[in-house]
C-alpha cells in the first residue's frame, strides 16, 4: 500500500510557466494585456478557429456566449443532466429555462434523439457538454438545430484538445467554451476561452469586460486613448496576463501532456478490460478523446459494495478519486424549481449511482498508475459476489 496519498488531479506546472509569471510580475502589465492576446493567438492557431476571447472561467465563457447569442427570458435551452451545474446555472443567469434530456448509455453525452423530442417553439439553443473529453455526436444535433432554427453553444470544459471527425472541438462556427481550471488538461489556475465566429467573438469581447468599447491595455498602452464608451451592461470576465503566462507554456506542452494521458488510459484499459465487475469508458471511432477524465463504472450487481463504499475503500488505500457528476436534477434548487423527479432521466441517474473517476493526469508515474490499478482490483476481489 502507498505511504502517501495520491491526489486526484494536481496541475503540472514547470519552470517555464513560473519564469513567465515572474516576467509578467516584473513587467508594467499584470492584468489583461499583451500576454492575454498572445495566448488567444496561440490558442486559435492550435485549434484552427477563426476567433477567440480569453476570460476568467468556462462559466464566464458560457454566460457570455448566451448573452452574445441574444438568449434571455422566455427562451428555452436544452442541455444534459450529466454536467457540472455551471452549464445550467448560466441558463438561469440570462433568465432562460433549462430543459434537460437524458444521455447516451455509452458516452454519457446528451442523446440527440432525446433532443429532437424536447424541441419546442420556445427553444433557442442546445447546449451540449463534451463529457469527460469525449466529443458529443454533433452531426445529428447540428442537423436538428438547422431544421428548427436554434443555436448550438458547446460546453467544451473537458474537451481540449479533442476531435470530432478529424476536426478539433472549438474550431467550427458554434460558440465553444473551454475551461482552464486547475484540474484541466491545460491550466491557467482559473480561466477559460470562448471560440466562435469573428462577429460573435467581437460582441463577446465587449460583453466580457463591462461592455466597454476599449479595454485598459488599449487605453493606457503607448498611443492609447483614455476615451471609451459602454455599449452593453457587461460583466467583469477578463483573463489576466498572470493567468495567460501559465497558458502560453501549457499550450506548448499539450501534445506531450496528452500523450501521457493516453498512455495511462491504455494501462487502465489493459488492467481492467477483462474484469467483469467493471465497465470501461468508451472512445468512438469518429472521435479523438481528450481524456480529461477516466470514468469507471461499477457493475454493482456483481459486487457486495456500493459506489460510495468503493470510493471509501480507495481512500483507505490512499488513492484519490471523485464522481463526475451529481446530476443536475438531483440538486435541491433545480429539483424544487422544475419539479424534476429522480427517475425523470433514468440513464443519467442509473450511471451516476455506479460511476467514479480515477486519477488521470500527466504527473502520474508508472508506479502511481500501478498503485491505482492494484487498489481497484484489490477492492473488486475483496467484495466480489
Catalytic amino acids? 184
Q: Which cell is 136 given?
A: 458529443
Instruction: Give me the torsion for CA of 154, 156, 161, 165, rounded to 10°.
Output: -30
Q: How many CA atoms lie within 13 A of 127 on its CB side?
A: 35
CA 237/CA 192 separation, integer angstroms: 9
* 197 closest CA partner among 169, 175, 164, 213: 175
Across the chain, which distance is largest between two alpha carbons, in Å?
A: 74
Amino acid at each position: 500500500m502507498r505511504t502517501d496519498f495520491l491526489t486526484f488531479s494536481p496541475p503540472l506546472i514547470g519552470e517555464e510557466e513560473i519564469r513567465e509569471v515572474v516576467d509578467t510580475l516584473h513587467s508594467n502589465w499584470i492584468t489583461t494585456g499583451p500576454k492575454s492576446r498572445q495566448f488567444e493567438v496561440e490558442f486559435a492557431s492550435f485549434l484552427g478557429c477563426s476567433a477567440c476571447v480569453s476570460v476568467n472561467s468556462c462559466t464566464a465563457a458560457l454566460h457570455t456566449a448566451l448573452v452574445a447569442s441574444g438568449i434571455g427570458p422566455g427562451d428555452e435551452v436544452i442541455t444534459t443532466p450529466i454536467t457540472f451545474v455551471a452549464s445550467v446555472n448560466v441558463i438561469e443567469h440570462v433568465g432562460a429555462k433549462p430543459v434537460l434530456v437524458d444521455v447516451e448509455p455509452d458516452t454519457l453525452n446528451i442523446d440527440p434523439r432525446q433532443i429532437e423530442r424536447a424541441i419546442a417553439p420556445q427553444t433557442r439553443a442546445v447546449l451540449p457538454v463534451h463529457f469527460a473529453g469525449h466529443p458529443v455526436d454533433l452531426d445529428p444535433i447540428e442537423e436538428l438545430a438547422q431544421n428548427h432554427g436554434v443555436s448550438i453553444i458547446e460546453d467544451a470544459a473537458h474537451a481540449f484538445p479533442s476531435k470530432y471527425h478529424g476536426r478539433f472541438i472549438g474550431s467550427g462556427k458554434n460558440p465553444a467554451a473551454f475551461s482552464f481550471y486547475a484540474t484541466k488538461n491545460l491550466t491557467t489556475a482559473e480561466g477559460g476561452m470562448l471560440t466562435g465566429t469573428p462577429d460573435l467573438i467581437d460582441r463577446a469581447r465587449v460583453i466580457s469586460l463591462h461592455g466597454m468599447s476599449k479595454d485598459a491595455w488599449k487605453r493606457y498602452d503607448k498611443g492609447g486613448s483614455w476615451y471609451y464608451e459602454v455599449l452593453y451592461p457587461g460583466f467583469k470576465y477578463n483573463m489576466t496576463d498572470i493567468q495567460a503566462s501559465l497558458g502560453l507554456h501549457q499550450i506548448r506542452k499539450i501534445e506531450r501532456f496528452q500523450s501521457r494521458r493516453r498512455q495511462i488510459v491504455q494501462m487502465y484499459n489493459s488492467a481492467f478490460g477483462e474484469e467483469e465487475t467493471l465497465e470501461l469508458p468508451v472512445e468512438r471511432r469518429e472521435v479523438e478523446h481528450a481524456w480529461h477524465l477516466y470514468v469507471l463504472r461499477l457493475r454493482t450487481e456483481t459486487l457486495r459494495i456500493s459506489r460510495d463504499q468503493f470510493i471509501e475503500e480507495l481512500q483507505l488505500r490512499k488513492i484519490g478519486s471523485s464522481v463526475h457528476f451529481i446530476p443536475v436534477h438531483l440538486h435541491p434548487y433545480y429539483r424544487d424549481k422544475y419539479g424534476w423527479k429522480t427517475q425523470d432521466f433514468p440513464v443519467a441517474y442509473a450511471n451516476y449511482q455506479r460511476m467514479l473517476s480515477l486519477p488521470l493526469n500527466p504527473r502520474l508515474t508508472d508506479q502511481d498508475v500501478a498503485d491505482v490499478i492494484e487498489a481497484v482490483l484489490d477492492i473488486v476481489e475483496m467484495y466480489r459476489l
